[in-house]
Chains A and B, each alone.
Chain A
Amino acid sequence: MDKKLAVAAIIVIIIIIGGAIAWWYLTKPPAVQPIKIGFHAPLTGFAAADGLSALHGAQLAVQHINAKGGVLGRPLKLIYYDDACDPDEAIAIAHKLIEEDRVVAAISGSYSHPTLAASAIFNESGIPYISAYAVHPEITRDKPYVFRVGLTGVPEGKAMGYVAGLLNATRVAILYMDIPFGTTLAENAKAYIEDVLGGEVIYYEKYELGETDFSTWLTEIKALNPDAILAPAYYSEAAHIVSQAKELGITAPIIGCEGYDSPKFLELAGDAAEGTIIVTDLDRDSPRELVQTFLSDYKNMTGIEADMVGASAYDAVLVLAKAIEAAGSLDPDDIVNALKNLENVEMVTGTLYYFTEQGNACKPMVAQIVREGEFHHYADITDPDIITPPE
């Protein structure tokens, strides 16, 4: 008898609990489904530092947007994967984001080659895709669903030449990294100096990515005594260039690019970074509230200073959210049309004037100078002939 009673009691308890769950489930208010945004960046491997900056920037943007009520009354949700800076990984991730996660749109916080690989998949699938800071020109070319908020090589190279002009440099040495990023910047800086400024490029040499000893090149440059040295590089090479130039007694100013725009550059180069001028799109001295909020919140969130990469990923999320809000729907074609019609959107990395026909951001640049171990405002670069990306 006792056994039967126990069984009956258990059944009753199960029915009560089950009923309670069902009642709670049926009567709770309908959950607000988040809007899913895909994201990929290198979170392991040699590019992990940049990938993590990008992820943190994107997460901060999602946090800020959700704190203000989200988009179309729904919160954003970032779904992110590690692409290890590998194009094959990026392709697999693109398929996963589109087919399994069913994201509304996606953002690349990665370098050129993974972004280029993934951009083709997103474009074919008709899913809007925004590259935060990858520079390769083919990423956006003839892909109506692909956009880019970061700088492209041609305006950035011209801007380096423009900064040489601000310094009244007429005899210029150019030392560049032998990858498409370095070559594009060097070619356009050279053209600007020769054609627009009427100056002379007296030294034009390249080196391999990952080089650590620049003494041979710098010894030759020193002997030519140029007015300025333009050196498109990433932060690690850049730190070696400015340190070794100083050690060889070179006093000509060194003009760099957004590849220098990292706290790592300042850390590695130490005192030798002083006086280096770089072309970038993140103005840390900007009085704009958006910039200052971003800089302080980023530091609170991660414990380190923000860089251009983190700011660009923040902006990619911001611009996408603006476009979805303007479109008033989650339809990919409506979002793409809204992106195309965006005008004067305030971003951390300057105002997005508009997206060009090929989906590249037209926006101002800024020159920053290193003083007392920090980047500070040096000059604004707003000349349309420089900043408009070529189509």
Chain B
Amino acid sequence: MSFSIDVFLQLLLNGILMGVIYMIIALGLTMVYGLLRILHIAHAGVYTLGAYIAFSTYVVTHNIFLAIIAASIVCAILGVIIERSLYLPLLDKPAYIPLIISIAVYLLLAEVIAQIWGHYPIGFHVEEIPRESYEIGKVMIGFHQIIFLAVITGFILALWLIINKTKIGLASRAASQDFEMAMAMGENVIKVIDFNFIIGSILAGIGGLLVGIYYAKVFPYMGDIVAYKALVVIVIGGLGSIAGAIIGALILGIAETFLIATLGYLLPREAFAFIIMIILLLFRPQGLFGKVE
């Protein structure tokens, strides 16, 4: 199937938006992996809880800014609790032990959310973000999509500034390059790890809120797909690489969109993601931006 330029541009935009959704989880996941070498699957649970906290805050206060603040605080606290109580005590254990615990925590969080808010999706409509679309050329973009892209781009810029221009960012980079050396140099490693979990969890919480608004619903199992998609993303990008996660997410989102558009429904969307990952790993096992260890 060949596309007109209008369809091509619309699909490209759709693909970028898909990619940005995957990016939200992938960033936190790669930050934690870079530091602790733990695959933090429970991150998707933090994301889901962020969406629900924001939803309930919005329903009560009708103030989207309060919803953002509430989701950020709750998620930051939850992230640090998971880190301090589950991951730090297990650092000297084989990698599969924190992985299994992380998966269990994700499933537990989803079930707790389902018990509190119910098993079925709930509509999430925000007055401040009307669902209007604008036509630019022949490409349609929704107001909620513009907000979504703007907030995430702002967040990534802020993340870049923090990591590159602040002392704790420098410490974080040092620790992720060589954990033992940073410790030997007297760096306060716990503080650095806390910092990574706080930033990553706030991003997950706001991400959950944004995706909830994007699809106009919250759902206890909304973390399922993004959890393993984010895994694919950070494997493509190179485990532990932040730039890799950003590029990997965009590649996956765009590739999925065009594969569905050209091949139709030969395989489920999820299968495409893993095929892309396998092909990439055959040629570059360390991922696009990963270093050979």
From residue A331, how far is it (CB to closest CB) to chain B in Å?
40
B3-24 residues at the A interface, CB under 8 angstroms = 3-4, 6-7, 10-11, 14, 17-18
Chain B nearest CB from A298 CB (Å) reads 18
A45 on the interface (CB 8 Å rule)?
yes
Q: List CB contacts (< 8 Å) of A194-217 with chain B.
A: 205-208, 211-213, 215-217
Contact flag A219-B10 (CB < 8 Å), given A248-B133, A248-B140 = yes
Say yes or no: A264 contacts B216, CB within 8 Å: no
User: Hey, which chain B residues are within 8 Å of A270, CB to CB?
Assistant: 123, 125, 131, 216
Q: Does A240 interact with chain B (Cβ within 8 Å)?
A: yes
A223 and B7 contacting across the interface, CB-CB below 8 Å: yes
Tell whether A99 is near chain B: CB-to-CB under 8 Å: no
Q: Which of A49, A215, A220, A268 contacts B123 (CB 8 A)?
A: A268
A46 CB within 8 Å of chain B: yes
The answer, among B4, B121, B131, for a CB contact under 8 Å with A264, is B121
Q: Taking the complex as formed, is A267 at the interface, i.e. its CB lies under 8 A from any CB of chain B?
A: yes
B131 and A243 form a contact (CB under 8 A): yes
Contact B217 A239 (CB under 8 A): yes
B residues near A243, Cβ cutoff 8 Å: 131, 216
> Contacts A213-B18, A272-B131 hold; do A247 and B142 have CB atoms under 8 A apart?
yes
Q: What residues on A are CB-neighbors of B125 within 8 Å?
A: 270
Task: Check B121 against A236 for contact (C-beta < 8 Å).
Answer: yes
B120-A48 in contact (CB<8A): yes
Say whether A215 contacts B121, CB under 8 Å: no
Does A227 sit within 8 A of B, measured CB to CB? no
Interface residues on B, range: 35 or more
Binary A-proximity of B156-181 (CB < 8 A = 1, otherwise 0): 00000000000000000000000000
Q: Within residues 202 to 250 of chain B, which ones have a CB less than 8 A from any CB in chain A?
A: 215-217, 221, 225
A49 / chain B contacts, CB cutoff of 8 Å: 118-120
Name which of A208, A211, A216, A220 has the most chain B CB atoms within 10 A of its CB: A216
> Which chain B residues numbered 130 to 160 have a C-beta less than 8 Å away from chain A?
131, 133, 135, 140, 142, 145
CB of B123 within 8 A of CB of A249, answer no
Chain B residues near A220 (CB-CB < 8 A): 1, 7, 261
Contact A240 B215 (CB under 8 A): yes
Chain A 172-210, CB-CB to B under 8 Å as 1, else 0, gives: 000000100000000000000000000000000111100
B215: nearest residue on chain A (CB-CB)?
A212
Whether B140 and A247, one on each chain, are in contact in the complex, defined by CB atoms closer than 8 angstroms, is yes
Q: Is B100 an interface residue (CB 8 A)?
A: no
Give the docked Cα–Cα distance between A189 and B40 (Å): 46
Q: Which of B109-123 contact A (CB under 8 A)?
A: 118-123
CB of B57 closer than 8 Å to a CB of A: no
A212's nearest neighbour on chain B, judged by CB, is B215
* Stretch of B30-38, B89-97, B185-193, B263-271 with 4 or more beta carbons under 8 angstroms from chain A: B263-271
A216-B14, A236-B121, A240-B215 as given contacts; A247 in contact with B261, CB under 8 Å: no
CA distance A217 to B123 in the complex (A): 23
Q: Quick check: is A64 within 8 A (CB to CB) of the other chain?
A: no
Residue of A48, A223, A236 touching B6 (CB-CB under 8 A): A223
Nearest-neighbour CB distance to chain A for B82, whole angstroms, equals: 26
Residues of B within 8 A of A217 (CB): 260
Q: Give the residue name and chain of the A residue nearest to B219 (CB).
A: A236
Query: Given A46-B119, A219-B7, A271–B216 Cβ distance below 8 Å?
Result: no
Q: Is the CB of B142 within 8 A of A249?
A: no
Task: Check A268/B10 contact, CB under 8 A, given A205-B265, A246-B131.
Answer: no
Which of chain A's residues have a CB closer than 8 A to the CB of B123? 239, 264, 267-270
Residue of A205, A219, A220 with most partner-chain B CB within 10 A: A219
Residue of B nearest to A207 (CB): B265
CB distance from B15 to the nearest CB of A (A): 8
Q: Closest B-chain residue to A214, C-beta based?
A: B14
Please state if B120 and A216 are interface contacts (CB–CB under 8 Å).
no
Residue on A nearest B268 in the bound complex, by CB: A208
Q: Is A329 interfacial (CB-CB < 8 Å)?
A: no
Report if B196 contacts A (CB, 8 A).
no
Complex formed: what's the CA distance from A240 to B217 in Å? 10
Task: Check: A44 CB closer than 8 A to any chain B CB.
Answer: yes
Q: B140: which of A205, A216, A249, A268 is its contact (CB, 8 Å)?
A: A249
Contact B10 A44 (CB under 8 A): no
A291 shortest CB reach to chain B, Å: 25
**Interchain CA distance A220-B217 in the complex, whole Å:** 25
Asked if B257 CB lies within 8 Å of chain A CBs, one says yes
Contacts of B10 in A (CB 8 A): 215, 219, 222, 248
Chain A residues near B142 (CB-CB < 8 A): 247
A264 to B118, CA, bound (A): 13
Interface string of A40-71 (1 = CB under 8 A from B): 00001110110000000000000000000000
6 nearest A-B residue pairs (beta carbon): A215-B14, A267-B123, A49-B120, A247-B142, A268-B123, A208-B268
> Can you identify 18 A-B contacts, CB atoms within 8 angstroms?
A48-B119, A208-B269, A211-B269, A212-B215, A213-B18, A215-B10, A215-B257, A216-B257, A216-B261, A220-B1, A220-B7, A222-B10, A239-B123, A239-B216, A247-B131, A248-B140, A249-B135, A268-B217
Given pairs A216-B257, A223-B3, A264-B121, 17 additional interface contacts (CB within 8 A): A49-B118, A49-B119, A206-B265, A207-B265, A208-B270, A215-B10, A215-B257, A216-B14, A216-B261, A219-B11, A220-B261, A239-B217, A240-B215, A267-B122, A269-B216, A270-B123, A270-B131
